[in-house]
Structure 1
Amino acid sequence: MAWARRAVVVLLAAVLAVWVLGSTRPQQINALPDRPPVEMTPTTTEEQPTAPPERRPGPDRRLGVQLSAHHGSDPRPALRVMDRLAAAGARWLRVDVGWRTLQEHGRGPFQAWYVDLIDTVLKGAHDRNLKVIFNLWQTPAWASRSGSAFAPPRNPATYAHAIGLAAQMWATEVDAWEVWNEPNFEAFFEGANPTRYTRMLCAAYPAVKQHDGSPVLMGGLMYNDDVWLEKTYQAGSKPCFDALATHPYLGPSDAAPGTPAYGEVWRLTHTPAMRSVMVAWGDADKKVWITELGWSSGPDNMGNPWDRPVTKRRQARYLGEAVDLIRNDYPYVGPIIWYRDIDGHSASYQDGFGLLHPDLSGKPAYRAFKAAVRNE
C-alpha cells in the first residue's frame, strides 16, 4: 500500500536524522560511522550512462582543485601538477597551509623554509592564472588547548595574529582566506564546538581585512551540516565571514551526486538546507563555496563500510553529474573544488581521489574535469 510505504520511508528518514544530529560520520578520512550505513543504490550505473547535458556557452570559471603536491619541502612537484591543472582549464586552487609549521616555535616570524615553499607555490599559481583559496589550519603545540594540532587555540587571538601575518605577506597572491578545515568534525577541531570556532573566526576576520579585502570563508564544514551552521549564527558568526565553505561528500561514498537527501547532511542535495539557514539569518547575498568534493577510486577501504570506492569511469561520470547538478539547481554556489589533484602511491581509499595518476597522466576524471570546464 502506498501510504504504508510512505510511512516506512518517513520513519527511516527520522531515524537517520536523529543519528546525524548525535554523531559525526567522517567519509573522506576513513573513520567508521556509528553503525553500518544503509545500503544505497546509485542513481546511475556503469551500464546505464546518463545523457550528456545541454551545451552552454563559455568556460566555467568556478572549477578548481585541491592541491596536495606541495606537502613536502620541494615545490617542484606542485609546479608540475599545476601545469597539468592549468592545462585542464582549472581556475581555482585550494592550498592548505599548516599554522603549526609556519610558527612551530612561537608567535614570532614565520619559518623561512616554509615561507619560501609557499611563496613558490603561490607565485606558480599566479603565473598559471590560478586563483588561490588559502586554507590555514593545524595549531602549533605552544598555542594548542591540548597540544594537538587539531585542537583549537587556547586564545583565538593567536590564530588571528598568524592569519593576519599571512594576509600581510601574501595578499597579492591569495584570492580567498578559509578559516580552518572541517571545524564541525571532532578529529579536526577537538570538541567541534561552534561557539569556540565562531570566536576564532571573528578574531580572524578583521585581522585579514586589515591587509586584504579578499573573501574570508567560514569552514569548510564537513558535509552540509546545517544544524552546526545554525549554531554558529547563534554564537554571532554573521558579520565574520563573506562566504560559507562546505564539503558535501556523499555517504556511503559510492552514492551518486543526485542521491536524495531526505534530511541527511551527507548529501550534495542537502545544499539547499545550508542556503535556508543563511537566508533565515539575512545572508542571502553570501555564496556557498564547495571547497572539497570528490569520489575515490582507491580500492582498499581498509574494512570501512562507509568508504566505498568507485571505478575510475564512475568517478569521472560523477564529477560531471555533480557539476551539472550544481549549475542547474544551486545558482548561489560559487567555486567548486575537486578533492584532489593527484593520487597517492598506495591502493588505499584515501589515495584514490585524484584527477591524475602519480606519474601525472590523466585519469578519466581529468578528462571529465576538462569537459566540465568547457561546459560540455
Structure 2
Amino acid sequence: MVIGSRQFPLRRVLPLLCLLLLIPLIPRSTPTRAAVAEAPALPTATRSADADFYGIVGRDPWFEWGTDPERYPNDVNRAALEGMARDLAYAGAGWVRIELRADHDANALGGPGYIDYRKWDWFIKECAPKYGLKVLFLLGSAVIKHSAVDPTVSFSRINDPADRPDGTNNYSRLFAARAKEIADHFGDSVAAYEILNEANISEILFVESGGTQIEFNPEIYGALLTDVYAAIKPAHPKVQLIVGGLLYGFRPTGSADYDYLYVLYQSKRAQEYRLVNGRYPWDGVASHAYYVGDVRKIVDHYWQLRGVMVAAGDDNNKLWLTEIGLVGGPSKVRPEFLAAMPTTEEEKQAAFIRELFPLLLNEVRGFVANVFWFKYEDFLLPNGWANYGLVRLPIDTRGTYGQPPVPRKPAFAAFQSFANPGALPTAPESAERQPVGAYYFPQTRHAISGAFRQYWEQNGGLDRFGYPITSVFESGGLRVQYFERARFEYHPENADPDYQVQLGLLTAFLTQTRTFPKATPITPTPRPRPAGTPTARATPTCPPGSSCPPVSETPTTPSPTAPSTLTPTPTMIYFAETGHNLGGSFYTYWRARGGLASFGYPISEELREVNQADGKTYTVQYFERARLEYHPENAGTPYAVLLGLMGLETINTGGWYR
C-alpha cells in the first residue's frame, strides 16, 4: 500500500493514523465491576377478598412499653409492633386480636386501676389501619386491675350475689363502666370487643377464689353483657360486641360450652333486652375449641353451637372462632443457611391448618364470621416456650422481642395459602405488575429485577442459575430469591456493589447431615484428564426474550456415595481450609466463573451419586454454594459441567420459607 495513492487517498488514511497513534494512550481494560443497582423489588402487596375471614392473635402492645428505650423512650417499641403488623398483613390476616390491660394506680386504697392509653393509641389508631388490620380488643379480667389491697376488684367478686334489682353486682358494674370508658376513648378505631375470655379465664377464677369457684354465673354474665351493650352500642353503632365468656367449669364432657351458652340465652337480663329490642345484647358468640378433638370434631362442634343459637332465636348473629391453635416447636435456623428442615411438630401444626380451614370454608362459612389463629409469635412462660406461634421472634438478654421473625414456621405458609395465596413466593407473578427494569419469564411466571437481574445477567444467566422459581421475599431480614440452581441474597449493608448480591449456602444446608472424608493433597502430573462421567440433561441456552421450556423440577437428592477415581491433572489445587482437592473440568469451570467468591470452597472430593431426576449415576463435587456435575455427553460444548438444581432441591425440603 502506498499512502496517498489513488487507491488510498491521504485524507482517508490520516484519521486511521491518528487512532493508531492514540492506542498507547488508551488505558488497559480492567475487570468489570458491578455498578450500583437498585434493590430487587418485592412483589406488589396482595390482599385476598376474604381477608375479613382471617385473623391472628397478636402480641399485646402493653408488653412492648419501654422495651426499646434507646429508640422509643416512654413509648412502645414501634419497630417491633410495626414488624408484626406488616407480617400479619403479609400472611393475609384482616383482623388482629389483642388484649387490653389496666395498670396499677397510685392509690394505696386500691380501686380498679387505670388504663395508660399511651400504650395502645399508636398501634390502634395508626399502625393497624396502615396495614389494613381491623382490631378485635379482648376485654378480659385484666381491664380491672387485680389489687391485693382492694378485694372488691378481685375477679372472683364477679360471682357476688346481685345487690340491685337489675341483677348486677359491684364488679359487673365496674366492668361495664370500664368497657364504656374504653369504647369512648377509641371510638371506631376498634372494630369489635370480645367481652371476657373463655376457657383459661375459668382457671383465673379458680385461682383467685382459692379453689372455691370454677364457673361464671350466667345470670351475672347476662346482666354484664346487657349493660355493656346498652352503654356502648348507641354511641358506637359500628362497633361489634362479642360474647367471649363461655366460662364453663371443668366438666367431663365436650358439651360444656354449648350447654353454658344455652343457659346464658335464658338469663333474665338477656331475655328482657330481647323482648324490648327484638334481639340479644350482643353481635356474635365467640368460642375456642382447643380440646374438642380432631378437625372433624371441631367443625361438628360448631354445628352444635350453631344449633343452640338457632334454637334461641339468635340466627342473625354468627360464631366467631377467636382462638384456635396447635403447638409447633420450631427448628433452629442457622443464620448462614436461612433455611431449616421442619420439625415433626411444625409439620403437624401446618397440616392442622391445611385440614381445618377447608372444612370451615366449605361447611360452616355461612354462620362463622371469622377464624383467629392463636398465635402470631411463640411466647415465653416461666417453664419455657409456648410454641403456638406462626413465627418465633428473636429475643435479647433483656427479654425484648425483636424483628424480623427467625424462623417463620411452615404453618405461616399454610395460613397464607388460604388467607393470601398470591403473596406466597412460589405463587405465579403477573407480567403486567412488574416494576420498570424487571424481566419476566413466562416459563416459570417469575421475574428478576434490580441488583438480582444485574447479577444474573453478568454472571452466567440461564446457563448457570436457571430460571427464577420464586418471587423476591424477605427471610431473616434479607431480600432473597430462589432460582433452579441457586438462591440470591441481597446485602445492602456491603458498600462494595460487588458484594451486595451473594449466593446462599444451599449446598452446605442440603448436606449438613452428611460427612465427606477429608482428602490428601494430590500432586499434579502432566496428564490432563477431564473429571466426571455422564449425568442429566443440561438447561438449554435461552437468552432473554425467547421461550425455552423450564428444566425439569424433579429434584436431585443424595444417595449413598462412593469415591470417584480422580486422575491428577496440571490444573489441580488443594484447599487446606476444607481439606479437599479440585481439578480437571471442575477446576476449569470453577476458576472461569468466579471461583471462591461464587461457589465457595469444595466440601467434598469428586464422588459418584445417583440423580433422582433420571435414576442414573453421575460424578459430582460439592462446594459451599453449588454442586458441580460432569456431563460427558455434552463434551466439546459449554455444557460439559453444569450446576446441580440446588434451588429446587431446597424448595422441596419444605424448610426454605423461613
Q: What's the TM-score once normalised by structure 1's chain length?
A: 0.71
RMSD: 3.1
Which position in structure 1 is the counterpart of 2:188? 172
Change (3 A) 1:313 1:287: same
1:339 and 2:380 correspond: no
Q: Distance in 2 between matches of 1:81 and 1:165?
A: 27
1:366 and 2:412 correspond: yes
Q: Distance in 1 between matches of 2:417 and 2:382?
A: 27
By how many angstroms is 1:245 displaced?
0.8
Q: Is the 8 A contact 1:144 1:151 kept in 2?
A: no
1:273 and 2:273 correspond: no
Alignment equivalent of 1:229, drawn from 261, 264, 267: 261
By how many angstroms is 1:118 displaced?
0.8
1:126 and 2:135 correspond: no
Which position in structure 2 is the counterpart of 1:219? 244
Which position in structure 1 is the counterpart of 2:145? 140
By how many angstroms is 1:244 displaced?
0.5
By how many angstroms is 1:358 displaced?
1.5
Q: Distance in 2 between matches of 1:185 and 1:325?
A: 28
Alignment deviations for residues 54-81 of structure 1 (CA, whole Å, 9 cap, x no partner):
xxx9544310101125242234322221
1:322 and 2:378 correspond: no
User: Residues 249-268 of structure 1: matches in 2 within 5 Å?
Assistant: 249-251=290-292, 255-258=293-296, 260=297, 267-268=298-299
Alignment deviations for residues 234-293 of structure 1 (CA, whole Å, 9 cap, x no partner):
114362111111112135xxx5312x3xxxxxx442111111111011111110011111
- Which residue type is aligned with residue 215 of structure 1? Q
Alignment equivalent of 2:222, drawn from 168, 178, 198: 198
Change (3 A) 1:180 1:355: same
Q: Is the 8 A contact 1:64 1:91 kept in 2?
A: yes
By how many angstroms is 1:83 displaced?
1.4
Q: Distance in 2 between matches of 1:329 and 1:188?
A: 34
Q: Is the 8 A contact 1:218 1:241 kept in 2?
A: yes
Greater relative contact order (CA < 8 Å, ≥ 6 in sequence): 1
Q: Distance in 2 between matches of 1:183 and 1:85?
A: 25
Q: Distance in 1 between matches of 2:198 and 2:392?
A: 26
- Which residue type is aligned with residue 232 of structure 1? L
By how many angstroms is 1:160 displaced?
1.1
Which position in structure 1 is the counterpart of 2:324? 293
Q: Is the 8 A contact 1:178 1:218 kept in 2?
A: yes
User: Residues 29-178 of structure 1: matches in 2 within 5 Å?
Assistant: 58-72=49-63, 73=65, 74-76=76-78, 77-98=80-101, 100-101=102-103, 110-111=114-115, 114-123=116-125, 124-138=127-141, 139-141=144-146, 147-149=153-155, 152=158, 154-178=170-194
- Which residue type is aligned with residue 174 of structure 2? T
Alignment deviations for residues 134-176 of structure 1 (CA, whole Å, 9 cap, x no partner):
1112233469866534652733221111111111111121111
Change (3 A) 1:284 1:310: farther
Alignment deviations for residues 304-324 of structure 1 (CA, whole Å, 9 cap, x no partner):
xxxxx9711110111122211
1:311 and 2:335 correspond: no
Which position in structure 1 is the counterpart of 2:465? none
By how many angstroms is 1:208 displaced?
1.4
- Which residue type is aligned with residue 247 of structure 1? H
Q: Calculate percent identity across the aligned residue pairs.
A: 25
Q: Is the 8 A contact 1:297 1:352 kept in 2?
A: yes
Alignment deviations for residues 8-37 of structure 1 (CA, whole Å, 9 cap, x no partner):
xxxxxxxxxxxxxxxxxxxxxxxxxxxxxx
Q: Is the 8 A contact 1:70 1:121 kept in 2?
A: yes
Which position in structure 1 is the counterpart of 2:313? 282
Which position in structure 2 is the counterpart of 1:353? 388
Q: Is the 8 A contact 2:379 2:386 kept in 1?
A: yes
- The runs of 5 or more residues in structure 1 that have no matched partner are 1-56, 261-266, 300-308
Deviates more, 1:329-338 or 1:231-240: 231-240
Q: Is the 8 A contact 1:182 1:188 kept in 2?
A: no
Change (3 A) 1:257 1:160: same
Q: Is the 8 A contact 2:157 2:171 kept in 1?
A: no
Deviates more, 1:181-190 or 1:128-137: 181-190
Q: Distance in 1 between matches of 2:360 and 2:351?
A: 14
SS of 2:287's equivalent? strand
Change (3 A) 1:136 1:355: same
Alignment deviations for residues 89-111 of structure 1 (CA, whole Å, 9 cap, x no partner):
1100111112x438785779944
SS of 2:319's equivalent? strand
State the number of aligned residues.
298
Change (3 A) 1:207 1:144: farther
Q: Distance in 2 between matches of 1:198 and 1:144?
A: 25
Alignment deviations for residues 175-222 of structure 1 (CA, whole Å, 9 cap, x no partner):
111111117953244542211211111111111113211111011536
Deviant stretches of 4+, over 3 Å: 57-60, 102-111, 141-151, 188-191, 220-224, 345-350
Higher Cα Rg, which structure: 2
Which position in structure 2 is the counterpart of 1:244? 285
Q: What's the TM-score once normalised by structure 2's chain length?
A: 0.42
SS of 1:61's equivalent? helix
